[in-house]
């Protein structure tokens, strides 16, 4: 009755697979995610996974969504640290800066998770037949829009620059993250990367506000 060996039922295989997927992607990258490798890591037969996910693609999208949530969480933590300054314009600008540096630092700290989070934007979440525009806009995108709105309301952003400003912002931080994790900046030491990231954000903010 007592099971000193592994029980026949795992308990929560679905959660265990997602956790294994996160660890695997963290260490080996998104391309290392495979049904056999994952089930091996969890100690279960390959086809057991098909009780919980339709196929590999559906699994990867699920884990990617989790990675995206973690990215959003990291960014939000950093944005919330900005104190409620006397000058709301300064605060709004600092929150945009926190968004950008948070985004970049997440990518530098865990390139595999960053790559994974990007997957969830390559492929729409496949909202299924109950189709709803519930969470079509990914959280990081909303955080960015929020920061820009705040700048707008505080008068830190010239009105003619507000529309579509998010794409210039996203391009800068996303591009920097790519250059640093898998481009020509790969391998540069962290302090230098942090300085370059701050400089890039300075240039961006200057371009938006000047």
What is the binding site for DNA (CB under 7 A)? 7-11, 13, 33-37, 44-48, 50-52, 55-57
> For DNA, which is the closer residue by CB, 10 or 73?
10
Does position 168 bind a copy of itself by CB under 8 A?
A: yes
Rounded distance, CA 49 to CA 147, Å? 40
Nearest 5°: the CA angle 157, 81, 108 is 90
Residue 141 lies near a copy of itself (rule: CB under 8 A): yes
Size of the site for a copy of itself (CB under 8 A): 36
For DNA, give the closer residue by CB, 51 or 195: 51
- Using only the alpha carbons of the chain, give its radius of gyration: 20
**Which of 167, 189, 190, 194 is in the footprint of a copy of itself by CB under 8 A?**
167
Q: Which has the closest alpha carbon to 20: 6, 34, 4?
A: 34
**For residues 181, 184, 185 and 189, what is the CA-based torsion angle, rounded to 10 degrees?**
100
The entry of DNA, a copy of itself, none that residue 36 binds, CB within 5 to 8 Å by partner kind: DNA
Cβ atoms of 20 and 41 within 8 Å: the answer is yes
d(CA 66, CA 74): 12
117, 138 contact by CB (below 8 A): no
Q: Which stretch binds a copy of itself (CB under 8 A): 7-15, 33-41, 70-78, 165-173?
A: 165-173
CB of 116 to DNA, least distance (A): 15
Task: Tell which one of 43, 46, 155, 183 touches a copy of itself (CB under 8 A).
Answer: 183
As measured in angstroms, the least distance from the Cβ of 161 to DNA is 45
Query: Which of the listed partners (DNA, a copy of itself, none) does 184 bind, with a CB threshold of 5 to 8 Å by partner kind?
Result: a copy of itself
Q: Give the closest residue to 89 by CA, choosing from 161, 169, 151.
A: 151
CA geometry: angle 39, 45, 49, nearest 5 deg = 60
Residue numbers of the site for a copy of itself (CB under 8 A)? 118, 121-122, 138, 141, 161, 164-165, 167-168, 170-179, 182-186, 196, 199-200, 202-208, 210
């Amino acid at each position: 009755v007592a099971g000193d060996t592994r029980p026949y039922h795992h308990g929560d295989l679905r959660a265990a697979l997602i956790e294994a997927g996160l660890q695997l992607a963290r260490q080996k990258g998104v391309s290392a995610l495979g049904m056999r490798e994952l089930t091996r890591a969890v100690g279960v037969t390959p086809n057991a996974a098909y009780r919980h996910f339709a196929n590999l693609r559906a699994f990867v999208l699920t884990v990617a969504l989790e990675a995206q949530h973690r990215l959003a969480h990291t960014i939000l933590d950093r944005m919330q640290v900005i104190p409620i300054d006397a000058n709301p314009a300064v605060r709004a600008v600092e929150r945009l800066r926190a968004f950008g540096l948070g985004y970049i630092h997440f990518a530098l700290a865990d390139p595999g998770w960053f790559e994974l989070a990007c997957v969830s934007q390559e492929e729409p979440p496949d909202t299924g037949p109950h189709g709803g525009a519930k969470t079509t806009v990914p959280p990081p995108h909303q955080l960015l829009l929020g920061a820009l709105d705040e700048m707008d309301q505080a008068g830190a952003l010239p009105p003619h620059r507000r529309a579509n400003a998010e794409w210039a912002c996203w391009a800068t931080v996303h591009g920097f993250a790519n250059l640093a994790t898998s481009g020509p900046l790969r391998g540069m030491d962290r302090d230098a990367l942090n300085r370059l990231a701050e400089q890039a954000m300075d240039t961006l903010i200057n371009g938006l506000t000047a």
